[in-house]
């Protein structure tokens, strides 16, 4: 009996989903070397790398999403507007999640496309970008390429975005980038602080656009935090960006979106690439939206592993900022490069340098519990080499 391509895929979903999950570690061999500042080249051959450098969900997407991706192979030859579902359906599904209209949503090839369009749309040589330091580098990188002015405000003593000087700097700016929780410092601003920020920037500088990046929204457990989406929907010149790359585990699918006032988003929609989200990305994102239990489970898993890692590092004398994300920003008391290279030699790759704290702090993504237990043994051997080198050697041998 002939087997259709669709039937073949359907019959193979379980094994293929399993193979996809099993192949997860191989992403390391193809990823952007800049993410680990070259440290990944130091991982010895034959050692299974533990990748704690890119704030990805270490388990990837759930089975519903993997199955949705696999089911789309027969439509790989179609443009996204000819596929079922298409981009219009994805926009409607995201709009449905927030009970808003489709014109309140713009989808991007990852939220980076949204950030890039925002800098292009809202900054000029006269009206620059205001951002935290350190914060996610994408917006200043684009502004730098455009030669638009950038004002970077160093985080406060608790590694939170420093609201007062950011408000002052925002007067006359084209765009303010407020990353909440903030990458790489992992701290969060409470709902009151964000509302106060928006109100005061709007009062002093009504033409300034405020972009609130909530890439790590799904990992927050602090009760003082609330999404700024409702605020954005009722306030002109304010919008929120979100991504499927983090808790949804879909970094490779490249799907993100902006949500806000239709008038504000028109400027982004004009600049985005046509058909920017693929047939696979559309199907995957829609399946993910239909599976909220997966996000709840991922948040709970991350919270438990995050608490373990914070405590283990504290026991090693290394304090982390108050993390509300899937990564830690930790004082290792030495240059990040020194720590990163030493860890990489034992198979653990942590984040790149984050000036102005590159002499003391590293960003460590939260992996699985198993990965973090192994990573902590490596951290111990790097931070306390004299007492634990034998343990470290044994540990390394046991991973081969
Ligand atoms: C704060 C923040 N915003 C946006 C992004 C971009 O994510 P993506 O383009 O995968 O949606 C990242 C990625 O690390 C991030 O940390």
**215/218 Cα distance (integer angstroms):** 8
Ligand 1 centroid–CA 215 distance in Å is 6
Does ligand 1 come within 6 angstroms of the Cβ of 349? no
Residue 37: per-residue pLDDT? 57
User: Distance from the CA of 247 to the center of ligand 1, in angstroms?
Assistant: 11
Which residue has the CA at smallest separation from atom 12 of ligand 1? 215
Mean pLDDT of residues grouped by 10 in the chain (400 residues)?
40 40 38 59 90 96 96 94 93 97 97 98 98 97 97 98 98 98 98 98 97 98 98 96 98 98 94 95 97 96 98 98 98 97 97 97 98 98 71 45
State the pLDDT at residue 39: 87
Burial of residue 146 (number of CB atoms within 10 Å: 0-12, 13-18, 19+): middle
pTM: 0.89
The pair of three-digit structure tokens given for residue 311, joined into one six-digit string: 């405590």
Q: Is 179 in the pocket of ligand 1 (CB under 6 A)?
A: yes
Using the mean position of ligand 1's atoms as its centre, give its distance from the Cα of residue 385 in Å. Answer: 35
Q: What would the pLDDT profile of 223-271 be if each residue is shown by its tens digit?
A: 999 999 999 999 999 999 999 999 999 999 999 999 999 999 999 999 9
**Ligand 1 centre distance from Cα of residue 112 (Å):** 6
How many Å apart are CA 42 and CA 333, to the nearest integer?
22
- Given a contact cutoff of 8 angstroms between Cβ atoms, the answer to whether 243 and 107 are in contact is no
């Amino acid at each position: 009996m002939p087997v259709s391509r669709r039937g073949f895929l359907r019959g193979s979903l379980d094994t293929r989903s399993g193979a996809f999950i099993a192949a997860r570690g191989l992403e390391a061999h193809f990823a952007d070397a800049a993410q680990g500042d070259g440290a990944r080249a130091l991982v010895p051959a034959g050692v299974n790398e533990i990748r704690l450098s890119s704030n990805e969900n270490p388990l990837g997407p759930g089975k519903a999403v993997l199955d949705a991706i696999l089911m789309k192979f027969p439509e790989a030859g179609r443009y996204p507007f000819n596929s079922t579902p298409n981009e219009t359906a994805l926009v409607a599904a995201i709009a449905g999640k927030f009970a808003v209209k489709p014109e309140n949503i713009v989808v991007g090839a990852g939220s980076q496309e949204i950030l890039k369009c925002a800098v292009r749309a809202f900054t000029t040589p006269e009206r620059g970008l205001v951002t935290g330091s350190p914060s996610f580098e994408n917006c200043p990188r684009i502004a730098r390429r455009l030669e638009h002015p950038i004002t970077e405000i160093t985080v406060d003593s608790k590694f939170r975005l420093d609201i007062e000087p950011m408000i002052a700097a925002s007067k006359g700016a084209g765009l303010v980038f407020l990353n909440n929780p903030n990458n790489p410092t992992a701290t969060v601003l409470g709902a009151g602080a964000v509302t106060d920020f928006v109100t005061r920037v709007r009062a002093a500088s009504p033409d300034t656009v405020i972009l609130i990046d909530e890439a790590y929204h799904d990992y927050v457990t602090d009760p003082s935090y609330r999404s700024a989406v409702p605020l954005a929907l009722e306030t002109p010149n304010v919008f929120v960006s979100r991504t499927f790359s983090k808790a949804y585990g879909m970094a490779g699918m490249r799907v993100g979106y902006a949500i806000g006032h239709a008038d504000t988003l028109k400027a982004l929609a004009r600049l985005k690439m046509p058909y920017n989200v693929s047939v696979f990305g559309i199907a995957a994102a829609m399946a993910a939206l239909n599976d909220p239990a997966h996000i709840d489970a991922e948040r709970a898993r991350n919270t438990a592993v995050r608490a373990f890692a914070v405590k283990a590092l504290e026991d090693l004398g290394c304090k982390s900022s108050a993390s509300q994300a899937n990564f830690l920003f930790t004082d290792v008391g030495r240059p990040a490069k020194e720590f990163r290279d030493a860890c990489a030699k034992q198979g653990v790759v942590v984040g790149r340098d984050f000036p102005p704290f590159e002499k003391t702090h590293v960003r460590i993504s939260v992996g699985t519990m198993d990965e973090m237990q192994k990573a902590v043994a490596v951290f111990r051997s790097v931070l306390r080499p004299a007492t634990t080198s034998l343990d470290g050697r044994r540990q390394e041998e046991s991973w081969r």
